[in-house]
Structure 1
Amino acid sequence: MSPIEQVIREMIGIEGPMRLDRYMSLCLGHPVHGYYMSRDPLGEKGDFITAPEISQTFGELIAIWCVGAWAAMGSPAAFNLVELGPGRGTLMADILRTVRKAAPAFASAALVQLVETSPVLRQRQRDALEGQARWHDSLDDVPDGPMILVANEFFDALPIRQFEKWQGRWHERVMGLEDGGLTIGLAPIDLAPLGTDGDVIESAPVRNRIAEDIGFRLARNPGAALIVDYGHLVSAPGDTLQAMRGHRYVSLTESPGDCDLTSHVDFEALAKGFRAGGATAWPAITQRAFLLAMGLEQRIARLASRSEPATRAVLERQMRRLAAEDQMGNLFKVMAATSPGLATTYPFGST
């Protein structure tokens, strides 16, 4: 039994069944035994791999977008370059390497602010960025001012609640104990009498609050945010909560604290959060559409033209992994939020 499972069992024994959002929070963020607090989960030897770890081209194209947003903001002499959940620091390192060569004025103006709670990953980020950043526990701690924010695979790991309609009534899914083990059960709850038996709906109040906070910041000061995550464009019923360990899907109750827990991001709900804060939320597009619009094929072709055959094959595999319709290309979506009236939103709208 994992340490956090023991903690959760004791809490359920005292307090009764536990909501799934609390279960997720404990499994992922317990200060001692939480999944993200005690390990580096990324890479082939970890539990999952993210786009920046697949190819440096991903970060280079994000950098190009950021420079365009900065120009649209009026090229402020100082601004916060914020990343939420920076992983190993790979994406930010690629952004900074790119802008130092291609847009030195942007690089000089950028004040790198990383929002990260994991001590292990903070050290990876310090190594990758040679300490050239400030670290914060939450977005609330980031100084106010002009801002460009990026978040890649951040919102999917935030806690969610789930509700299921059963026997004509809505119930909340909760974690309980049965025969000495963890099990998911149902607790009656008052919700509007819509839907049909078997429907599952998900609610992400933490996710929505952070989106609204970003919107408040963009409404107060010039800025833009770029969100990349897997999820769906339109709100719809469905059970998307999943656990992953060693690059394979496992039960939600398997070894709590040793598995990654995520859910698909509802981009329609995310847009509502941005707008509630006062920002403009642009329609989300697929990662494939975004990367191709930003020049993925041209960048890969340029790298391949000066590479050996073996390297060209690797580059081709990387491009396919990032943009193919049957891989990350369509599953992942990209959304931009900007200050009202910001001049450019390419490739999300007119420039």
Structure 2
Amino acid sequence: MTAIGWRLAMQAALYSPDGFFVRPGNTPADHFRTSVHASPLFAGALLRLVERVDAALGHPKAFDLVDVGAGRGELLTTLLALLPDDLGRRVRPVAVEVVPRPDGLDPAIRWQRDVPENLTGLLVATEWLDNVPLDIVDTDEHGRLRKVLVDRATGTETLGAAADPAEVFWLSRWWPGPGRIEIGWPRDTAWADAVASVRRGAALCVDYGHRRQERPVLGSLTGFRGGRQVPPVPDGSCDVTAHVAMDAVAAAAGTPYRMIRQREALTALGVDGARPPLTLARTDPKGYVRALSAAGAAAELISSTGLGEHWWLWHTIGVEVPLL
């Protein structure tokens, strides 16, 4: 098979008719664990942000709640169950996804492929940008930056033509120096477009990522299948993902923002992972077991070696809404 650039390879591997996210019967939760899948505590924390945005907007008659990269609608389903009655009556939930609408999804959730425009409310994207396809360049033995090509069937890589001017322009600002570089401008564009769809309210991106001073020398491209990390062969059999250049994404949106780690955000929103007191085991054994389970789920969400390392990128548009 002819080798192609990684951006085209990822697009085909993830989103073609037989791609990883699109093919029937394949559920992402079977292959990797996100904060949404880990615990409803994550949705509970987001609920507090929804309520803050709603208050800042003056409790509008219609509140847009948009989940970009919605998977199978798990986050919106949980949020709708948690919303207080008044807000629940005003919320207009929209799931943005490339796959067909799942059977049995709450009919109140609108399902579409593109981000709607002129939103008033909150747009959320959890682990979406890491699956936006991108190209990779590497430095050859002569110090020249060249595009990395890949065989879709085997994952074998070769070096192709010189990096093009757009790639060189992006990396000169965001990922300087020799080595393997993941060209993040497609993620910048995707997030800028998503934020621009919010007329008034806020946008939240939650994802694995890095900043300019801590770029991975060998890049971060990898694969996931069946709950295990695997080589990123772009044949449609596995998730192919790369961490996000979060500072580049943040700057591209062109609106005020704050960026913190998930462990800091969730702790401030009441998810602390503290074990229940042992006295509860004597007075209320069942309650103790429930509290212990919740503490374990919370600990996973804020772990400094796992989901807690996610970045939260928070933009406000037309209103002042503190993240913490």
Give the Cα–Cα distance (whole angstroms) in 1 for the partners of residues 272 and 233 of structure 2: 41
Tell me which residue corresponds to 2:200.
Answer: 222
1:136 equivalent to 2:112? Answer: yes
Q: CA deviation at 1:114?
A: 1.0
Tell me which residue corresponds to 1:37.
Answer: 22
Match runs of 1:273-288 below 5 Å? 273-275=252-254, 279-282=255-258, 284-288=259-263
Q: CA deviation at 1:143?
A: 4.3
Correspondence for 1:107 among 60, 75, 88: 88
Give the Cα–Cα distance (whole angstroms) in 2 for the partners of residues 201 and 59 of structure 1: 34
Partner letter of residue 195 of structure 2? G
Correspondence for 1:343 among 311, 314, 320: 320
CA contact (8 A) 1:151 1:228 kept: yes
Q: What is the TM-score with the length of structure 2 in the denominator?
A: 0.86
1:67 equivalent to 2:51? Answer: yes
1:116 equivalent to 2:97? Answer: yes
Q: CA deviation at 1:196?
A: 5.1
Q: CA deviation at 1:29?
A: 0.3
- DSSP 3-state at the match of 2:139: strand
- DSSP 3-state at the match of 2:119: coil
CA contact (8 A) 2:272 2:299 kept: no
Q: CA deviation at 1:182?
A: 4.5
Give the Cα–Cα distance (whole angstroms) in 1 for the partners of residues 247 and 291 of structure 2: 38
Give the Cα–Cα distance (whole angstroms) in 1 for the partners of residues 106 and 94 of structure 2: 14
The 3 A distance-change label for structure 1 pair 323 and 181 is closer
Q: CA RMSD in A?
A: 2.6
Match runs of 1:126-205 below 5 Å? 127=104, 129-139=105-115, 142-167=116-141, 168-176=143-151, 181-190=154-163, 191=168, 197=178, 199-205=179-185
Cα deviations across residues 258-306 of structure 1 (Å, max 9, x unaligned)?
A: 101111111101111211xxx3222x1111000000011389869x967
Q: What is the TM-score with the length of structure 1 in the denominator?
A: 0.80
Tell me which residue corresponds to 1:232.
Answer: 210
CA contact (8 A) 1:215 1:273 kept: no
Gaps of 5+ in 1: 1-8
Tell me which residue corresponds to 2:78.
Answer: 94
CA contact (8 A) 1:230 1:265 kept: yes
Could you tell me the percent identity over the aligned residues?
Answer: 24
Q: CA deviation at 1:222?
A: 1.0
CA contact (8 A) 1:35 1:259 kept: yes
Count of residue pairs the alignment pairs up: 307
CA contact (8 A) 2:314 2:323 kept: no
- DSSP 3-state at the match of 1:295: coil
Partner letter of residue 186 of structure 2? V
Gaps of 5+ in 2: none
